[in-house]
Amino acid sequence: MKLNYKIQGNGQPILFLHGMFGSLDNLNMLAKEFVLNFQTIQVDLRNHGLSPWSNEMNYEVMAEDVATLCQHLQLKNLIVVGHSMGGKVAMQLMQIIPDIIEKVVVIDIAPVKYVKSPNLNVIEALKQCDLQQVTDKKHIMDIMKQQGIDLATSYFLLKSFKDGHWLFNSRIIVKQYSDLCDWHSNGEPCKKPILFIRGENSTYITDEYVNTIMAQFPNAKIVTVAGAGHNVHAEKTEQVLEILHDFIMN
């Protein structure tokens, strides 16, 4: 699958992978800070943004999509930064194209299967939007409110609703959601440098996952950003940029 992407700057490449329901612009607050000294590549993952839609959606196929793009662009010494779903794609990439990857940054997601995902109310809201054939944002907001979804999440989702439809493939995301909560390791520990950035108030990288992370990535470093939730890069951009610069430059 040929993914939509935006490429800027020159130098060592940094690949930015967004989270579920997002698009390549979601990590723009990070990418724009590196464009003067690096080549930045922002990608729409399958079923998101302007990339093609598919009935198949799991981390294996999403990583293959990105690997194909990396090979097309002839990338080497690659740094990958992924948030949430994009973080799992980044970790999957380390299993299939390790030779071209130098470092990886995973923002607020762990290499585990999530049984009770915080996104379940969003999934239910998307189901209701589909069943009720919703075409206007006010109706969507009403459904989001009924499902107990906070305003920040609702506004984030509505950024991807234009001309009466979602820009992401809501039906397939709902249908394949269990696969997107899952994780499969190839069983071989990856010793490449990898940084996990977690929000202090997030439930995606709890202390109980630390041993699992270290078993799969023995050289992992975990940094906690105080006062931040799952969208730590948006909530505490300056702190995250400082952490990124330190990891990438050293």
Give the active site residues: 84, 230
Judge contact between 204 and 232, C-beta under 8 A: no
Closest CA to 20 of 153, 207, 195, 184: 153
Distance CA(206)–CA(203), nearest Å, equals: 6
